[in-house]
Structure 1
Amino acid sequence: MTVQSNETGVDLNNTDSLKEVNKKNSVNYNEPADFEKAISATKWGKFNILLYIIAIPAGWSSIFETTTMSYVFPAAQCDLDLTLENKGFLNSVTYLGMISSAFIWGFLCDTLGRKKLLCIGLLLDSFFVLMTGLSQNYTTVVIGKFLGGFIINGPFAALTCYVSEFHCAHHRARVQMVLGIIFSCGTVVLPLLAWGILTLGFDFTLGESFKIHSWNIYLFICAVPALISGVCFMFMPETPKFLMTTGNNQKALEIFQKVYSLNTGKPMDTYPVLGKITSG
Structure 2
Amino acid sequence: MEVSSDKIASGRSEKTNEAFFEDAFEVVGHGRFNYIVLLTCGLIMLNVSMESVGMSYAITAAECELNLTSEHKGLVNAAAFIGIISTSFLWGYFGDRVGRRAVMLPALLASAVFSVASSFAVDVWMLMFLRMLTGCLVSASSATVYAYLGEMHMNSRRASAIAWGSVFISFSFITLPGLAWLIIPGKWSFALFSFTVVPWRAFVWSWCAPGLVAALLLLFLPESPRYLLSAKGPDAALPVLAKMYSWNHRASADQFPVDKIILTNMDSEKPAGFAGAIKNIGLMFRPPLLRCVFISHISMFSVFMLSSGLYVWVPELLNNILKNTSEKSITICEIIMEKLKKTEVSSCTVEVSIGVFPISMAMGAVFALTYLAIGMFINKIGKKRLYCGIMIICGVATMGAAFVPQGGAATALLILALCSGCAASILAAIAVDVFPTCLRAMAMCLMYMVGRTGAAVGSYLLGATMNTHCLAAFIVFGSITMGSTILMLFWPKPEEVRDKLEQRGLTY
Q: Which TM class, normalised by the smaller chain length?
A: 0.7 to 0.9
Which structure: larger Rg? 1
Show the counterpart of 1:204.
190
1:25 Cα deviation from its structure 2 partner? 6.1
Secondary structure of 1:211's counterpart equals: strand
For 1:97 and 1:23, how far apart are their aligned partners in 2?
50
Show the counterpart of 1:161.
147
The question of whether the paired residues in 1 share the 8 Å contact of 2:18 and 2:260 is answered with: yes
- CA-to-aligned-CA distance 1:123-176 (integer Å, 9 cap, x gap): 121111111122233232111111112221220111111111111112112112
Higher relative contact order (CA 8 A, sep 6+): 1
The question of whether the paired residues in 1 share the 8 Å contact of 2:43 and 2:210 is answered with: yes
The 10-residue stretch of structure 1 (115-124 or 193-202) with the greater mean CA deviation from structure 2? 193-202
For 1:235 and 1:251, how far apart are their aligned partners in 2?
17
1:29 Cα deviation from its structure 2 partner? 7.1
Show the counterpart of 1:50.
36
User: Residues 42 and 138 from structure 1, CA distance in 2 versus in 1: closer, same or farther, beyond 3 angstroms?
Assistant: same
For 1:257 and 1:196, how far apart are their aligned partners in 2?
45
The question of whether the paired residues in 2 share the 8 Å contact of 1:69 and 1:90 is answered with: yes
The question of whether the paired residues in 1 share the 8 Å contact of 2:41 and 2:145 is answered with: yes
| Unaligned 5+ runs, structure 2 | 9-13, 268-506
The equivalent position to 2:223 in structure 1, one of 211, 214, 238, is 238
User: Residues 185 and 277 from structure 1, CA distance in 2 versus in 1: closer, same or farther, beyond 3 angstroms?
Assistant: farther
User: Residues 145 and 23 from structure 1, CA distance in 2 versus in 1: closer, same or farther, beyond 3 angstroms?
Assistant: closer
Show the counterpart of 1:9.
none
For 1:26 and 1:206, how far apart are their aligned partners in 2?
62
- Does structure 1 residue 225 correspond to structure 2 residue 210? yes
| Unaligned 5+ runs, structure 1 | 1-18
Secondary structure of 2:135's counterpart equals: helix
> Once superposed, what is the RMSD of the aligned Cα atoms?
2.3
The equivalent position to 1:35 in structure 2, one of 10, 16, 21, is 21
Q: Give the paired residue count.
A: 260
Amino acid at match of 1:236: L
The question of whether the paired residues in 2 share the 8 Å contact of 1:136 and 1:210 is answered with: no
The equivalent position to 1:152 in structure 2, one of 109, 119, 138, is 138
For 1:112 and 1:235, how far apart are their aligned partners in 2?
18
The equivalent position to 2:123 in structure 1, one of 137, 148, 153, is 137
Q: TM-score w.r.t. structure 1 length?
A: 0.85
The question of whether the paired residues in 2 share the 8 Å contact of 1:39 and 1:166 is answered with: no
Amino acid at match of 2:249: T
1:213 Cα deviation from its structure 2 partner? 0.8
For 1:80 and 1:23, how far apart are their aligned partners in 2?
67
User: Residues 33 and 25 from structure 1, CA distance in 2 versus in 1: closer, same or farther, beyond 3 angstroms?
Assistant: closer
- CA-to-aligned-CA distance 1:90-109 (integer Å, 9 cap, x gap): 11122222221222222111
Correspondence list, 1:1-280, <5 A: 23=4, 26=7, 30-206=16-192, 210-278=195-263, 279=267
For 1:267 and 1:206, how far apart are their aligned partners in 2?
51
Secondary structure of 2:83's counterpart equals: helix
- CA-to-aligned-CA distance 1:200-254 (integer Å, 9 cap, x gap): 23311246x5110111111111112222212321221111111111124223111
Secondary structure of 2:22's counterpart equals: helix
- CA-to-aligned-CA distance 1:38-91 (integer Å, 9 cap, x gap): 221111111111112222321111111111111001211222222222212111
Secondary structure of 1:272's counterpart equals: coil
Q: TM-score w.r.t. structure 2 length?
A: 0.48
Identical columns (%): 27
- CA-to-aligned-CA distance 1:7-47 (integer Å, 9 cap, x gap): xxxxxxxxxxxx99x95963787343233212211111111
User: Residues 277 and 257 from structure 1, CA distance in 2 versus in 1: closer, same or farther, beyond 3 angstroms?
Assistant: farther
